[in-house]
Amino acid sequence: MESTLLPLFGQVSWLFISEKLTAIGRQCILKVKAESMSGALPGADGCVVAGSRGAGRSMVKHQPLQYYEPQLCLSCLTGIYGCRWKRYQRSHDDTTKWERLWFLILTSSFFLTLVWFYFWWEVHNDYNEINWFLYNRMGYWSDWSIPILVTTAAGFTYITMLLILALCHIAVGQQMNLHWLHKIGLVTTLITTVVTMSSIAQLWDDEWEMVFISLQATAPFLHIGALAAVTALSWLVAGQFARTEKATSQMLMFTAYLAVVVALYLVPLSISSPCIMEKAALGPKPAILGHRGAPMLAPENTLMSFQKAVEQKVYGVQADVVLSYDGVPFLMHDKTLKRTTNVEEVFPERAYEHSSMFNWTDLEKLNAGEWFLQNDPFWTAGSLSRADYLEAANQSVCKLEDMLEVIKDNTSLILNFQDLPAAHPYYSTYINITLETILASGIRQQAVMWLPDTERQLVRQVAPGFQQTSGLKLDAERLREKGIVKLNLRYTKVTNEDVRDYTTANLSVNLYTVNEPWLFSILWCAGVPSVTSDSSHVLRKVPSPIWLMPPDEYHLIWIMSDLISFLVIVGVFIFQKWRLGSIRTYNPEQIMLSAAVRRSSQDVKIMKEKLIFSEINNGVEPTDELSFCSENGFANEMVTPTDPRDTKLRIS
């Protein structure tokens, strides 16, 4: 019986609507004819805007029944994301599964590029080492750190912009449709990031330890930032939760968001930082040793560099010693002279020859300062005074003897040696020659930290006052058996627990190369006795760790942040449920665009009937225009004229 009445009801309904529309049309035609004779403007029904009498002719201009204000923000939103600039191109339909997959790829790319950008930002401490590493790989010097950082920042900014646009689509109920150009850009950025990260992991895996060390300084603040971001995201999640009609979808959405929030609330349990400590427990400031002198203020391993280091009142300096072909100890870090001298101009045929195969008379002819001004490895050459600039430009290769004369009074020394080629005439005796040079300089033996393992027993006999130092990380007992009193290690090789263990065993630890104040602060809190640095002039001005927080204060901040976040999230969910939960209205735009909506034809027919009946009862004809953004997430506002003679509009 019910199945029989429904078609009948539909026929009667459409018949009534047709008759009603015909009657309205007839009234409009009669009114146009009448007012065209008198030249009067139309009535408030909006059938005619203006009429005029001419020489036997009348002109009729129709007034639109509705007007939609431009939606520039929405046009930019959908246009930039999916090149949908026109109103008719937009849709409130559900996002397709394919586009949801692209949104998942976009989200994954965002977190990956975030990690990559964070990595390159934090390894600023080691930019010079990165450039030197790539120099050894490619054979020529270039500052690769800045281009890589800029490219990474650009990729991260691009992905972040796309993600924000996608979230805005969700917020306003627009269907997501990522443009194919953005898809190409997204895939290109993702692949480039993955390949670069894999290359760094294979070629320079030690540097990834830098990320975990940096989290000791940044994790408490990153946690608060992530907490704020997830709390702000609750507005979107709560809105989607309120609009979703299926209980299963609501449960999945709420459970996933709740899991993320709870995990974030508990993250501080895994945060460990040496700077979360009582101020009274803070140890003395680490002593600072200049790495190859003061290489940010002068060319490395030159006499000027060590003079600048002494002016900065450093605790000590580190130098790399090589023996010339005629037996003169001099300072040079690289195996060749190509990077730090003009050997390609003076001896072009010997540019790739080992530096120890040059006589001292040849080494004296080389300039060891111009490369510093040209390459500017630390971006500090521009800050030099005119006098320092000219002095740096005229630096030559430095003898060990000259350097010892500069530092011998109040500065300690860490010596590192290059292995000589087997064909070198002093291959078996270079240790003896170097020892003689050091002892002849008059420097205190206790100020010398002897690093090479070669001929260590001989060194103990000749210079018993030297501090025997090892560059190998061994357990404390073995080191003591070998007579080692000091360790010289890279900062990524030592944990906070290692520092405490070595200190307990009365072994001093020196870590290299520490250039950034935040890293210096972390090592200070960890109790490291000394560090080697390229930026001694910067670290000496650090009066205390960048931040130091008592455990009770940190726990209070943690609990209060979680509590505030929880209250805000609960409030947002309640408000969004109240604002959107009871809205179940039919939207003209949704009906007009329902060709792509997956509803049954019977449901669409019933919605159309309800809309037309309601508009006829209100004296307004149905519209074919599109609309956007009402309080249920779509704009459905229609502007109709109240009086053709009046410029005021009425919003219905």
**2: which 2 tokens?**
């019910």
Q: How confident is the model at residue 205, as a pLDDT?
A: 78
Q: Is residue 429 scored above 50 in pLDDT?
A: yes
To the nearest whole percent, how much of the chain has pLDDT over 90?
63
Q: How confident is the model at residue 207, as a pLDDT?
A: 83
Of the listed ranges 23-27, 499-503, 617-621, the least confidently predicted one is: 617-621
Residue type at 365? K
- The continuous run of DSSP H or E covering 319 comes out as strand 316-323
What are the b/e assignments for 609-647, b being 16+ CB within 10 Å? eebbeebbeeebbbbeebbbbeebbbbbebebbeebeee
The whole-angstrom separation of Cα 151 and Cα 141 is: 19
- The continuous run of DSSP H or E covering 467 comes out as strand 467-470
Instruction: Provide the 10 A C-beta neighbour count for residue 555.
Output: 13
Q: How confident is the model at residue 513, as a pLDDT?
A: 95
Residue type at 214? S
Q: How confident is the model at residue 27, as a pLDDT?
A: 57
Q: Is residue 384 scored above 60 in pLDDT?
A: yes
Q: Is residue 586 scored above 50 in pLDDT?
A: no
Question: At 607, is the pLDDT very low, low, confident or very high (cuts 50, 70, 90)?
Answer: low
Question: At 18, is the pLDDT very low, low, confident or very high (cuts 50, 70, 90)?
Answer: low
What are the b/e assignments for 435-454, b being 16+ CB within 10 Å? bebbeebebeeebbbbbbee
To the nearest whole percent, how much of the chain has pLDDT over 70?
78
The β-bridge relationship of strands 486-490 and 329-331 is: unpaired
Report which DSSP code applies to 377: T
The mean pLDDT of 467-487, rounded to a whole number, is 93
**110 vs 54, residue with greater confidence:** 110
Fold of 287-539: TIM Barrel (3.20.20)
Q: Is residue 553 scored above 90 in pLDDT?
A: yes
Under a CB-based contact definition with an 8 Å cutoff, are residues 526 and 499 in contact?
yes
Q: How confident is the model at residue 585, as a pLDDT?
A: 46
Rounded to two decimals, what is the model's pTM? 0.78
Those residues whose C-beta lies under 8 Å from the C-beta of residue 309, and which sit 6 or more positions away, are 290, 293, 294, 317, 407, 411, 536
The mean pLDDT of 371-395, rounded to a whole number, is 95
Of the listed ranges 143-147, 264-268, 378-382, 569-573, the least confidently predicted one is: 143-147
Q: How confident is the model at residue 8, as a pLDDT?
A: 40
Tens-place pLDDT, residues 134-185: 888 888 888 888 888 999 999 999 999 999 999 998 888 888 999 999 999 9
Q: Is residue 127 scored above 60 in pLDDT?
A: yes
The whole-angstrom separation of Cα 609 and Cα 602 is: 11
Tens-place pLDDT, residues 43-93: 444 444 444 444 444 455 555 555 556 678 888 888 899 988 887 778 878
The mean pLDDT of 489-498, rounded to a whole number, is 94
Q: Is residue 297 scored above 70 in pLDDT?
A: yes
Q: How confident is the model at residue 200, as a pLDDT?
A: 84
Report the candidate in 159, 147, 79, 72 with the shortest Cα–Cα distance to residue 112: 159
The whole-angstrom separation of Cα 362 and Cα 343 is: 10
Q: Is residue 639 scored above 50 in pLDDT?
A: no
* Residue extents of the structural domains in the chain: 2-61, 287-539
Of the listed ranges 36-45, 471-480, 561-570, 620-629, the least confidently predicted one is: 620-629
Q: Is residue 402 scored above 80 in pLDDT?
A: yes
**347: which 2 tokens?**
């001896």
Tens-place pLDDT, residues 509-540: 999 999 999 999 999 999 999 999 999 999 99
Q: Half-sphere exposure of residue 60, counting CA atoms within 13 Å on the CB side?
A: 17
Q: How confident is the model at residue 75, as a pLDDT?
A: 84
The whole-angstrom separation of Cα 563 and Cα 560 is: 5
Q: Is residue 651 scored above 50 in pLDDT?
A: no
The whole-angstrom separation of Cα 136 and Cα 645 is: 82
**What three-state secondary structure class fits 639?**
strand
Under a CB-based contact definition with an 8 Å cutoff, are residues 441 and 405 in contact?
yes
The torsion defined by the Cα of 230, 232, 233 and 238, in degrees rounded to 10, comes to 120
Report which DSSP code applies to 94: P
The whole-angstrom separation of Cα 221 and Cα 140 is: 40
Q: What is the mean pLDDT of the chain?
A: 83
Question: At 473, is the pLDDT very low, low, confident or very high (cuts 50, 70, 90)?
Answer: very high
Tens-place pLDDT, residues 305-332: 999 999 999 999 999 999 999 999 999 9
**54: which 2 tokens?**
């001419």
Q: Which residue has the tokens 């704020």?
A: 228
Question: At 240, is the pLDDT very low, low, confident or very high (cuts 50, 70, 90)?
Answer: confident
The whole-angstrom separation of Cα 252 and Cα 326 is: 78
SS (H, E, C) 406-464: HHCCCCEEEEEECCCCCCCCCCCCHHHHHHHHHHHHCCCHHHEEECCCCCHHHHHHHCC
Residue type at 49? V
